[in-house]
Structure 1
């Protein structure tokens, strides 16, 4: 890709990261797993545009819960749909 093909050419990196986040539309849902325990699942990330491991750690710490990051999905133990939604919107992500 040349600079003329890059829609973000000439834009500072910190603003480009914000644009990358804003272009992603995430979905959040709560699933019931083993023993009917809830798990909050966040999908729709572009793993190349977001540091998934760091974001997963930040979300888990904010929720005070465990979880995992796998590919383009973050899973957090417990039903944290509203709190996760608020945190991600605050970080500049769009939620479907």
Structure 2
């Protein structure tokens, strides 16, 4: 039996590009604030199962929207300088992710 595609699930044609939206909405991003050296807060977004290039692109988008610095860690988490609870949650929702605080 062939693997189900999103068009089989939704009944919509593949060329609409709904796969990306469905894949993002099925993922739950976890946001937490950690403290680093000298007591500086770092907001960490974890739990996203994205390819490295998409994760880097999302990190770049979030950094631009929040006007902060940050990076993608080796374990696949996005680290943003500072504490950005509600603004980050709204930005992730705008990108199509479900958010868990």
TM-score, normalised to structure 2's length? 0.82
- Residue 94 (1) aligns with residue 98 (2): yes
Note the alpha carbon deviations across 1:51-85, whole angstroms, 9 max, x for none.
01111001011111111012421000000121110
Among 46, 52, 55, the alignment partner of 2:55 is: 52
Distance 1:20 1:72 in 2: 17
Change (3 A) 1:66 1:49: closer
- Alpha-carbon RMSD: 2.1
Change (3 A) 1:44 1:69: same
The offset of 1:91, in angstroms, is: 1.4
Distance 2:52 2:17 in 1: 12
Distance 1:6 1:40 in 2: 37
Q: Could you tell me which residue of structure 1 aligns to residue 71 of structure 2? A: 68
Distance 1:50 1:26 in 2: 17
Work out the number of aligned pairs and report it. Answer: 94
Runs (5+) with no aligned partner, structure 1: none
**Structure (1 or 2) with the larger CA radius of gyration:** 2
For structure 1, which segment, 45-54 or 86-95, has the greater mean C-alpha deviation from structure 2 after superposition? 45-54
* 8 Å CA contact 1:21, 1:50 repeated in 2: no
Higher helix share: 2
